[in-house]
Amino acid sequence: MAEEARWYVVHTYSGYENKVASNLEKTVENRQLQELIQEIRVPTEKVTEITDTGKRKEVERKIFPGYVIVKMIMTDESWYAVRNIRGCTGFVGPSSKPVPLTDAEVANLGIEKREFEVSYKVGDSVNIVDGPLEGFIGTVEEMDVEKNRIRVTVSMFGRDTPVELELDQAEPVG
């Protein structure tokens, strides 16, 4: 038994994602499985669609149709609870053996928000500490804390080049 909860991907019938998520939440509550099954998510994004009449409309769209992401401690009991939800076809993994998402996959999917305390601001000089431009020094032009991104201008070969980085890829100079 794994003692730490990990993120798993559950495959569902298309269009049943929210139903599977709500039924799983009810099952967790009824069976007192809150310790084993901690979070259930159906990742969505807001998209602006243009209707037939030419009007713009904000719509919430599923990022991964047919999938629900569950943070759980894998035991026989938790596996059984998830697997037997109506509309669930199984876990993603070889021969339906649940394979947890790696930390890198969780970060790339943006499932868990990581909080960063940055000690620099727009206009400050920063040292790039990770990625292909590691060791370069640049000036912060833009910061988007929500999306975990910064735009830094780096001087390369006598030209100013804008580079987009994650917040933790730069630190203040000095």
Question: Tens digits of per-residue pLDDT, 106-131?
Answer: 877 767 666 666 788 889 999 988 88
Token duo for residue 137: 């020094």
Both 81 and 42 in a single domain? yes
Residue 118 counted as domain residue: no
Number of domains in the chain: 2
Question: Tens digits of per-residue pLDDT, 15-62?
Answer: 999 999 999 999 999 999 989 999 999 988 888 888 888 888 888 888
Residue 1 has pLDDT above 60, yes or no: no
Question: Which residues share a beta bridge with 137?
Answer: 127
∠169-171-172 over CA atoms, to 5°? 155
User: Which of 58, 78, 109 corresponds to the end of one domain?
Assistant: 109
Host domain of residue 146: 125-172
Inter-residue contact 44 to 63 (CB < 8 Å): yes
Q: Which residues contact 96 (CB under 8 A, 6 or more apart)?
A: 90
Question: Has this prediction a pTM greater than 0.75?
Answer: no
Both 98 and 166 in a single domain? no
Residue 29 counted as domain residue: yes
Cα dist from 90 to 40, 95, 109, 169, whole Å: 15, 10, 20, 37
Both 140 and 63 in a single domain? no
Both 44 and 88 in a single domain? yes
Both 50 and 132 in a single domain? no
Question: Tens digits of per-residue pLDDT, 55-94?
Answer: 888 888 888 899 999 999 998 899 999 999 999 999 998 8
Residue 155 has pLDDT above 70, yes or no: yes
Question: Tens digits of per-residue pLDDT, 126-153?
Answer: 998 888 888 999 999 998 877 778 899 9
